[in-house]
Structure 1
Amino acid sequence: MSGLAVVTGATAGIGAAFARRLHADGYALLLVARDAERLAAMATELGGAGGSVETVPADLTTGEGLAAVEKQLRERPVEMLVNNAGISLNRSFVESTAEDEERLLALNVTAVMRLTLAVLPGMVERGRGGVVNVSSVAGFGVPMPGSTYSASKAWVTNFSESVGESVRSRGVRVMALCPGYTKTEFHQRAGINMSRTPEWMWLAADAVVADGLRDLRRGKRVSVPDWKYKVAVFGMRHLPRGLIRRATRDVRGRIGRDEFDRDEAQRREGKS
């Protein structure tokens, strides 16, 4: 399949991996992200290999930015939409603000819903197309202590399954891609220190994208890349919830606590 593919959050991590893979597969690209300079750099990188690459600098947490992208999607025959843009917060809900929580929901939930709705009528009319909504294993079953990120991703997964079921008979595929820990800028941008996470738990963005596109072709509505996370999701769905809660630990705010501990240790050393 070729045609126009739209990727949000396209300048790093999973979004950039999708952009490179879809470009290599022959798609023309419309890339969306907040940072105009990084978008231009990505377009230059991909454009040098041939093919059409357009960019739309937009902040999808704002009404103006979201409306600008929606307009593009409604007016053009989009064959593939990848809703990759998303954020997390480096604090527990009780330490958060309403403004930050609304910003998280605007990007993780509202933008996914509105951009999916912008492309689906055209896809259904043409009888083909695909939507990949990047979710997370964090959205399966067990709430993460103090985290609204996991709740937002639970919505993305359920939404994708529900919408995918409603349009599959029309030749359109909608899928939630639910990776585990992936080597991207995501945690760094959120201020979350992941240095204690074992190396074996990390996935490569290119491998996540390859698994996701393979599962989309197979008609799956939920894709969980890598066998270890498939096992983890099976456990989340079938093991007693109390057992899963005891195995879950909150990584939010770890940078702040680590910095406090380090400063406190240095202060004590200075006194001794």
Structure 2
Amino acid sequence: MTRPLALITGASSGIGTAYARLLAADSDFVLVARRADRLRDLAEELRKDGAEVEVLPADLATREGIAAVAERLGTGDVRVLISNAGVGGYAPLVDVDPARIDDLLTLNAEAHVQLVRAALPGMLAADEGTIVTVASLLAFSAGQTGPRPPRRTLYAAAKAALVAFTRTLGHELAGTGIRTQVVCPGPVATEFHQGIGQTVPVAMTAEDVARASLAGLRLGEAICVPGLEDQSAVLDALLAAESAVLSGGRRSDLASRYRQPLPQ
């Protein structure tokens, strides 16, 4: 029996590594991350489970890195894409170095889109495939204020875009053999938070996030929020709110509050 080929980005640690370990019994891999030494160590571990493993070091915050991975996806043999690589960049916008804005948005948003685009022709030709993008619970945080959420303007915007992208893509691919899912974990006990100088007192394990995602795929979930118990009801309410905004705003006349005379 042929094992499906899974390409995982951000595979050198955290959630990416957890996906690889959970899939190792049944999949072969292309592992992508910046740190080649860690990729090689993981590859040796996965080979012990019988997996064939390619190592592809690439920095997905750069156009060159994206192009290298997109070229590999363009060969058409990848049946599972787990687009997981990301970076925090938490800070008030005024404190973000302008030179970093492009890197942050490239890795957290554009890279996902470009890699999915590169994977699609092969999956469509085979009428088979799975696309998973890893976003964040903070994608839904734009309306939240107060001290608890981190300063996150760029991060939240990129992750919200990724949620919208993956949800809409799922509708485009309806009727094909391709499944899509966007994963939106809360705090996770990984190097991600250490790298941005945050201490997270209550955090889910990376393995639990990956396990929830894979279980959610079997359940047909297009959105997976690993810690959300009543997900179906909450997401139904979100969809209803979105529909109300769309239907209510699709009018040719102004809402009544805008018809008042302008102050002189």
Q: Is the pair's TM-score, using the shorter chain for normalization, greater than 0.5? A: yes
- The residue aligned with 1:91 is 91
- Match of 2:175, SS state, is helix
Rounded Cα–Cα distance in structure 1 between residues aligned with 2:187 and 2:231: 13
In structure 2, do the counterparts of structure 1 residues 97 and 16 end up closer, same or farther at CA, with 3 Å as the change threshold? same
Q: How high is the sequence identity, in percent, across the aligned residues?
A: 37
Q: CA deviation at 1:83?
A: 0.4
Count of residues in correspondence between the two structures = 233
Write out aligned runs for 1:170-185 (5 A).
170-185=176-191
- Amino acid of the structure 2 residue aligned with 1:180: G
The answer (yes or no) to whether the contact 1:2–1:79 under 8 Å persists in 2 is no
The answer (yes or no) to whether the contact 1:138–1:144 under 8 Å persists in 2 is no
- The residue aligned with 1:31 is 31
Write out aligned runs for 1:143-182 (5 A).
143=143, 146-147=151-152, 148-182=154-188
Write out aligned runs for 1:192-271 (5 A).
192-194=198-200, 197=201, 199=202, 202-227=203-228, 230=231, 237=238
- Match of 1:30, SS state, is strand
| More displaced 10-residue stretch of structure 1: 148-157 or 215-224 | 215-224
Rounded Cα–Cα distance in structure 2 between residues aligned with 1:141 and 1:185: 22
- Amino acid of the structure 1 residue aligned with 2:34: R
The answer (yes or no) to whether the contact 1:17–1:209 under 8 Å persists in 2 is yes
- Amino acid of the structure 1 residue aligned with 2:107: L
The answer (yes or no) to whether the contact 2:141–2:156 under 8 Å persists in 1 is no
Deviation digits for residues 185-220 of structure 1 (CA, Å, limit 9, x no counterpart): 1111122233xx3x3xx2121111111112122322
- Match of 2:220, SS state, is coil
Post-superposition, which runs of at least 4 consecutive aligned residues in structure 1 deviate over 6 A? Answer: none
The answer (yes or no) to whether the contact 1:59–1:66 under 8 Å persists in 2 is yes
Unaligned runs of 5+ in 1: 239-272
Rounded Cα–Cα distance in structure 1 between residues aligned with 2:116 and 2:88: 21
Write out aligned runs for 1:17-166 (5 A).
17-24=18-25, 26-140=26-140, 142-143=142-143, 146-147=151-152, 148-166=154-172
- Amino acid of the structure 2 residue aligned with 1:169: G
The two structures have a TM-score, normalised by structure 1, of: 0.79
Rounded Cα–Cα distance in structure 1 between residues aligned with 2:90 and 2:178: 36
Rounded Cα–Cα distance in structure 1 between residues aligned with 2:230 and 2:160: 16
Rounded Cα–Cα distance in structure 1 between residues aligned with 2:127 and 2:72: 20
Q: CA deviation at 1:181?
A: 0.9
